[in-house]
């Protein structure tokens, strides 16, 4: 299988530079329309697909991002690995605005989002003990360091619903009691859906601010966030440009079995499965449903 990297860009990153044969394509999915068209192309011999999470012009709030359609669309066009870039607040003094944190854990506090491709008629349970791919995360950390970012390897991301920022009480709870490192609004259910779709997933949290816990920071300032976003956006583009030197064009099986997450996950007996749901699962779960290697 040929490697194809899917880049999901968050706030401040709505396109990528330098793609050869770049074109915006529309991908139909049974889960509705994706956030936007997907830009496909080749960067120094590495196939890439770019999807702006909020849409060009930032039209989707964190709560209305069509997460299932986004992951299905990327899987449908052949993406083997997803790299997520997103703006976050920080709960740690050492994780300062402008720093990049390579996320390895999540606490999901979102509400009312569609969090699984599976359900009544085809029940499946995948493991999320380690929700990001260590192999891909290592590559992402090296690419970010090459881009000049100050990189922190490992961190727990608190996924909040939004769109409002945290209260001071919430911020202190997440930092002091729960031990979270960064806070954002979009990595869940995105990471979980990528696992269900058997796509390796790695995330860089681009710190824009200290959340409201910081005694010298006060309430979150959107003006300051936008200023930091601009600097982070350039480092994010440089991170993407560093990837072709670090990733093999020939896609070997994932040593952490992200690409085999559904191997024993589907619980519903074949004769009890819902035919309509199975049709919708043709891309994300086709490998196991069709019995292909």
Which pLDDT tens digit goes with each residue over 87-135?
999 999 999 999 999 999 999 999 999 999 999 999 999 999 999 999 9
Residue pointed to by tokens 């703006």: 87
Measured CA to CA, the distance from residue 216 to residue 86 in angstroms comes to 24
Q: Parallel, antiparallel, or unpaired: how do β-strands 81-90 and 182-184 relate?
A: antiparallel
Read off φ and ψ for residue 279, nearest 5 degrees. -60, -40
pLDDT one-digit tens code per residue, 139-151: 999 999 999 999 9
Residue pointed to by tokens 């929700």: 131
Please report which confidence band the pLDDT of residue 12 belongs to, taking 50, 70 and 90 as the band edges. Answer: low
Residue pointed to by tokens 């330098």: 18
Read off φ and ψ for residue 203, nearest 5 degrees. -135, 135
Question: Does the structure show a pLDDT above 80 at 223?
Answer: no
- The answer to whether 155 and 102 have CB atoms below 8 angstroms apart is yes
Question: Does the structure show a pLDDT above 80 at 292?
Answer: no
Question: Does the structure show a pLDDT above 80 at 167?
Answer: yes
pLDDT one-digit tens code per residue, 18-56: 899 999 999 999 999 999 999 999 999 999 999 999 999
pLDDT one-digit tens code per residue, 247-290: 999 999 999 999 999 999 999 999 999 999 999 999 999 999 98
Question: What's residue 86's pLDDT?
Answer: 94
Question: What's residue 290's pLDDT?
Answer: 87
Question: What's residue 226's pLDDT?
Answer: 72
pLDDT one-digit tens code per residue, 177-194: 999 999 999 999 999 999
- The answer to whether 117 and 196 have CB atoms below 8 angstroms apart is yes
Range of the domain at 76: 4-289
CA-to-CA dists, residue 265 to 54, 111, 198, angstroms = 31, 24, 11
Question: Does the structure show a pLDDT above 60 at 218?
Answer: no
Residues that constitute the known binding site for phosphate? 11, 53-54, 86-87, 186
Which of 147-161, 215-229, 237-251 is predicted with the least confidence, judged by mean pLDDT? 215-229
Residues that constitute the known binding site for substrate? 185, 209-211
Contacts of 37 by beta carbon, 8 Å cutoff, 6+ apart: 24, 25, 26, 27
The total number of structural domains that make up the chain? 1
Please report which confidence band the pLDDT of residue 220 belongs to, taking 50, 70 and 90 as the band edges. Answer: low
Please report which confidence band the pLDDT of residue 231 belongs to, taking 50, 70 and 90 as the band edges. Answer: confident
Residues that constitute the known binding site? 11, 53-54, 86-87, 185-186, 209-211
Q: What is the mean pLDDT of residues 64-84?
A: 98
Measured CA to CA, the distance from residue 156 to residue 203 in angstroms comes to 11
The domain that holds 44 is classified in CATH as 3.40.50.1580
Measured CA to CA, the distance from residue 206 to residue 30 in angstroms comes to 32
- pTM to 2 decimal places: 0.95
Question: What's residue 230's pLDDT?
Answer: 75
Question: What's residue 293's pLDDT?
Answer: 61
**Burial of residue 286, with CB atoms counted within 10 A of its CB: 0-12 exposed, 13-18 middle, 19 or more buried:** middle
Residue pointed to by tokens 């952490």: 256
Please report which confidence band the pLDDT of residue 291 belongs to, taking 50, 70 and 90 as the band edges. Answer: confident
- The answer to whether 274 and 122 have CB atoms below 8 angstroms apart is yes
Measured CA to CA, the distance from residue 48 to residue 63 in angstroms comes to 26
Active-site residues: which are they?
209, 211
Question: What's residue 83's pLDDT?
Answer: 98
């Amino acid at each position: 299988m040929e490697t194809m990297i899917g880049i999901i860009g968050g706030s401040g990153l709505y396109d990528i530079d330098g793609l050869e044969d770049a074109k915006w394509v529309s991908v139909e999915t049974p889960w509705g329309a994706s956030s936007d068209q997907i830009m496909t192309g080749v960067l120094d011999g590495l196939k890439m697909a770019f999807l702006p999470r909020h849409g060009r012009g930032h039209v989707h709030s964190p709560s209305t991002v069509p997460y299932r359609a986004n992951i299905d669309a990327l899987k449908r066009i052949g993406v083997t690995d997803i790299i997520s870039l997103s703006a976050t607040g920080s709960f740690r003094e050492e994780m300062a605005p402008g720093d990049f944190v390579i996320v390895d854990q999540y606490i999901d506090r979102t509400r009312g989002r569609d969090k699984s491709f599976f359900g009544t008629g085809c029940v499946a349970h995948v493991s999320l003990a380690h929700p990001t791919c260590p192999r891909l995360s290592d590559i992402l950390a090296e690419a970010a360091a090459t881009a000049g970012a100050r990189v922190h390897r490992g961190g727990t991301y608190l996924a909040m619903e939004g769109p409002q920022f945290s209260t001071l009480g919430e911020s202190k709870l997440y930092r002091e009691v729960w031990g979270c490192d960064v806070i954002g609004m979009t990595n869940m259910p995105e990471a979980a859906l990528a696992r269900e779709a058997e796509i390796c997933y790695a995330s860089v949290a681009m710190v824009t601010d200290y959340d409201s816990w910081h005694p010298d920071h006060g309430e979150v300032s959107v003006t300051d966030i936008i200023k930091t976003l601009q600097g982070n956006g350039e480092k994010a583009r440089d991170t993407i440009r560093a990837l072709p030197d670090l990733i093999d064009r020939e896609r070997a099986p994932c040593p952490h079995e992200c690409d085999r997450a559904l191997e024993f996950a589907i619980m519903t007996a074949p004769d009890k499965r819902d035919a309509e749901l199975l049709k919708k699962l043709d891309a994300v779960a086709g490998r196991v449903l069709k019995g292909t290697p």
